[in-house]
Structure 1
Amino acid sequence: MKKSVVLLSGGLDSTTCMSVAAKAGYEIYPLSFDYGQRHQRELEAAKAVAQFYQVKEHRIITLDNVGGSALTDPSIQVPDYAEDDQIPVTYVPARNLLFLSYALGYGEVIGAEAIFIGISSVDYSGYPDCRPEFLEAFQKVAEVGTKAGANGQRIEIKAPLLHLSKADTIRLAGSNGAPLHLTTSCYRGGERACGTCDSCILRLKGFAEAGVADPVPYIEN
């Protein structure tokens, strides 16, 4: 069976990616990261999603916290959603670059044909490492900087949500039977989602546009 590494945060997007990989017939090897994020609940969510899919192995990698983000520095407050063109303080420096690098190395070890990452350039917070040009550049790195690539064994970086709205992602998850009830998206990391941070607002907007009720609890309900 063909193998894939899935970057699994425990959120809506990465869980939808997991469902896409499963439906495509891949043997899934999810990879999650503890990078000092304040929303540690996502790691428990990732474990629950991995268990749902009965994966062979789920690795959680611990990375040193480089700070510089509201998600990793307790002195920086997570802001409420604001619609502007600025890169928000919830941006984590080089996060997807680090995650994909680990996934690429792991993929070489297990003989994976693909790496799935749940980035979107449509309904997102404006992070530079969620853009198509970043993905294209990393694919080139994967091809020229690995033994697999040098030997013509291309590991494809797949981002099936890249051009999907959040509503379309939710519809895709529903059609694939993805366990969105197990996911968490809130940046503040409380037992109930705050409903006001970037991630919560984008999630709620997506569910509203998809005409589906969000199965996770929020502070106001």
Structure 2
Amino acid sequence: MSKKRAVILVSGGLDSTTVLAMAQSQGYACYTLSFDYGQRHRAELFAAERVSRVLGDVEHKVVTLNLDSIGGSALTDADIAVPEEETAGIPVTYVPARNTVFLSIALGWAEVLGAEDIFIGVNAVDYSGYPDCRPDYIAAFETMANLATRAGVEGNKLRIHTPLMAMGKGDIIAAGLALGVDYGLTVSCYQATDEGLACGRCDACRLRARGFVDAGVDDPTRYA
């Protein structure tokens, strides 16, 4: 009997790598999807390919988007500095509509593959205030997905899986380690060097470092 197929959004970071390991542990044949969207931290693309290969995906696809052409985020506009202190509200590292764009393309590939499951590593506990990481958003997108696709109309219910939604960073790391994840392969930093060295100061670095402390394990992150 062939495995059920699933599309896994993989950024090369800690969360999405854990989600990939979880999907594989549930018996899915995993098709990993990453985006070259004009992000300044391009080391994550190499990390995404690396973790997909090491964890054993069926196919890894990189889709090119030019979200930097509209800007509006410190991650896509070189004129907006990545903050190195905690900020209130939605931070400037929020990329306008990013998860909506990413999930829409994942939805299209899922239809092509005949996959009914999409996994994404969004989190509503240790997250940076992004509106497209909330449970209500994911539920609304899943409803839309089943209204807007041939698969949904023909009765093949599409599901958006968010296994990390209610987990803290320490719990995520513990779960990944139990599944054999090597977090030294991952890159989370918003301004990582091309070699994947982390700044240790941005919001993503702070959350990641705190997670390893909470998990009670050594931090394998390579810092600049």
Give TM-score scaled by structure 1 length. Answer: 0.96
Is the contact between residue 31 and residue 59 of structure 1 (CA under 8 Å) also seen in structure 2? yes
Cross-structure match for 1:113: 116
Cross-structure match for 2:46: 44
Q: Does 1:195 align with 2:195?
A: no
Query: Which deviations, in whole Å up to 9, do the C-alpha atoms of 1:46-74 show, x marking residues without a partner?
Result: 01011102322110000012211000000
2:85 maps to which of 81, 84, 98: 81
Is the contact between residue 81 and residue 201 of structure 1 (CA under 8 Å) also seen in structure 2? no
Q: SS in structure 2 opposite 1:188?
A: coil
| Cα distance between partner residues in 2 of 1:176 and 1:17 | 10
Q: Does 1:205 align with 2:210?
A: yes
Q: SS in structure 2 opposite 1:33?
A: strand
**Stretches of 4+ moved more than 6 A in 1?**
none
Query: Which deviations, in whole Å up to 9, do the C-alpha atoms of 1:137-166 show, x marking residues without a partner?
Result: 001001111111111101110000000001
| Cα distance between partner residues in 1 of 2:184 and 2:26 | 22
* Amino acid in structure 2 at the alignment position of 1:196: R
Q: Does 1:9 align with 2:11?
A: yes
1:173 maps to which of 166, 176, 182: 176
Cross-structure match for 2:26: 24
Query: Which deviations, in whole Å up to 9, do the C-alpha atoms of 1:118-148 show, x marking residues without a partner?
Result: 0000001000000111001001001111111
Structure 2 gaps, min length 5: none
1:31-180 matches, cutoff 5 A: 31-65=33-67, 66-84=70-88, 86-180=89-183
Is the contact between residue 114 and residue 155 of structure 1 (CA under 8 Å) also seen in structure 2? yes
Is the contact between residue 94 and residue 129 of structure 1 (CA under 8 Å) also seen in structure 2? yes
Query: Which deviations, in whole Å up to 9, do the C-alpha atoms of 1:154-184 show, x marking residues without a partner?
Result: 1110000000001110011011112211000
Tell me how far 1:100 sits from its aligned partner. 0.3
* Amino acid in structure 1 at the alignment position of 2:202: C
Tell me how far 1:215 sits from its aligned partner. 1.0
* Amino acid in structure 2 at the alignment position of 1:118: G
RMSD: 0.9
Is the contact between residue 29 and residue 57 of structure 1 (CA under 8 Å) also seen in structure 2? yes
* Amino acid in structure 1 at the alignment position of 2:66: D
Give TM-score scaled by structure 2 length. Answer: 0.95
- Total equivalences in the alignment: 218
Is the contact between residue 10 and residue 47 of structure 1 (CA under 8 Å) also seen in structure 2? yes
* Amino acid in structure 2 at the alignment position of 1:209: D
% identical equivalent positions: 53
Q: SS in structure 2 opposite 1:58?
A: strand
Tell me how far 1:83 sits from its aligned partner. 4.8
